[in-house]
Chain A
Amino acid sequence: MRILLVDDETEFVATLAERLSFRNMEVDYATKAAEAIELASRKSYDLAVLDMKMPGISGIELKGMLEKQCPGMKYIFLTGHGSEEDYRAGSSEASGYLVKPINIDILVARIKKALEAR
């Protein structure tokens, strides 16, 4: 499983990447949209975990950009609060969303479920 994590909080995304790698996932991470697009242009990923609110861009906007480079890639959104808007975006634009702080077992289960559905 090749996973791309994108969140502007470096300590969060780096540590989450390390934890997912302990769970036999191949993980790259980016803290900026441009870095994520660059990574996706060089490598194909099965699923991207995107923060919904990043400087200058929303997770939905970034998903639109990544879809052009990685057709068929699945998405899970991360959010701080889980508003009605986040719920709608998670339901319609992705394979769901998780509210921070996240439970890694739930994230792993969501990733596996999203990839099984492909």
Chain B
Amino acid sequence: MTAQYDGIGGSGLQFFGKVSASISHELKNVLAIINENAGLLEDLTVAARRGSPIDPDRLDRTVRNFTKQIHRADEILKNMNRFAHSVDQFECRVDLHDLVVLVANLAARKAAMGRILLETTAPAQPIQFTGNPFLLENLVWLCLELAIASTSAGRTVTLIPEKTASATLLHITGMDGLGEKLPLQNDAGLEAVCAALGAGMATDPAGNTLTLRLG
């Protein structure tokens, strides 16, 4: 079974590393905000000891900042935990939309740095994907990297799962820079992950859409 990962070579490891780096940056930002708010409480305490009145509204705002950042860190860590456990099983049934939302969340910081907004559209009915969840996450991530690199700042890239009579599809719309040539012809990592998953790819340059055929 590990042959599935052998096929993608260093690409899977790079993916894991990039997600970990992005998460650590996000957590650093959360800690920085908590640190400044703790410091502010210290400053206000020092001022109060010198006789300055304490403004309850200012304390309340600081407490709300703590609460907000704790929730933010919790969401980041929940996503990290789900992602880390995606290598537990080589094959399982997953909800495609849930998986796409997870990868979009993991890629949100990278997208924000390129001033791209990522959105997902939930299907009317749940769509199940049976296969290797880590490989599918890797494939969606690589496509999002491509989208972020090729799309103009300020645009929205939307991920839309679809189930047809014959196939499970994932459309990535709003992408700039798509040609008739498939992106995997320029990207060995993308090609390897597609091959390992048995996934296909099609482009619609006029519709700014890349479509993954997942089986």
The stretch that binds A, out of B35-43, B127-135, B168-176, B180-188, is: B35-43
- Indicate whether B84 reaches chain A with its CB closer than 8 angstroms: no
Interface size classification for chain B: 20 to 34
Q: How many A residues, CB 8 Å from partner?
A: 18
Known: A19-B39, A101-B34. 8 other contacts (CB 8 A): A11-B68, A15-B65, A53-B25, A80-B24, A80-B28, A81-B25, A100-B35, A102-B35
Nearest opposing residue in chain B for A99, CB measure: B28
A to B CB contacts below 8 Å, 20 in the list: A11-B33, A12-B29, A12-B32, A15-B36, A15-B37, A15-B40, A19-B36, A19-B39, A55-B112, A55-B114, A56-B113, A80-B25, A80-B29, A81-B25, A100-B31, A100-B35, A101-B31, A101-B34, A101-B36, A102-B32
Question: Which listed residue (B69, B112, B113) contacts A11, Cβ 8 A?
Answer: B69
> SS class of chain A's interface: helix, strand, loop or mixed?
mixed
B47 touches A100 (CB 8 A): no
A18 to B40, CA, bound (A): 8
- CB contact list, B26-71 vs A, under 8 A: 28-29, 31-37, 39-40, 43, 47, 62, 65, 68-69
Nearest opposing residue in chain A for B43, CB measure: A22
Interface centre among A11, A102, A104 (most CB of B within 10 A): A11
- Indicate whether B115 reaches chain A with its CB closer than 8 angstroms: yes
Nearest opposing residue in chain A for B154, CB measure: A56
- CB contact list, A54-105 vs B, under 8 A: 54-56, 80-81, 100-102, 104
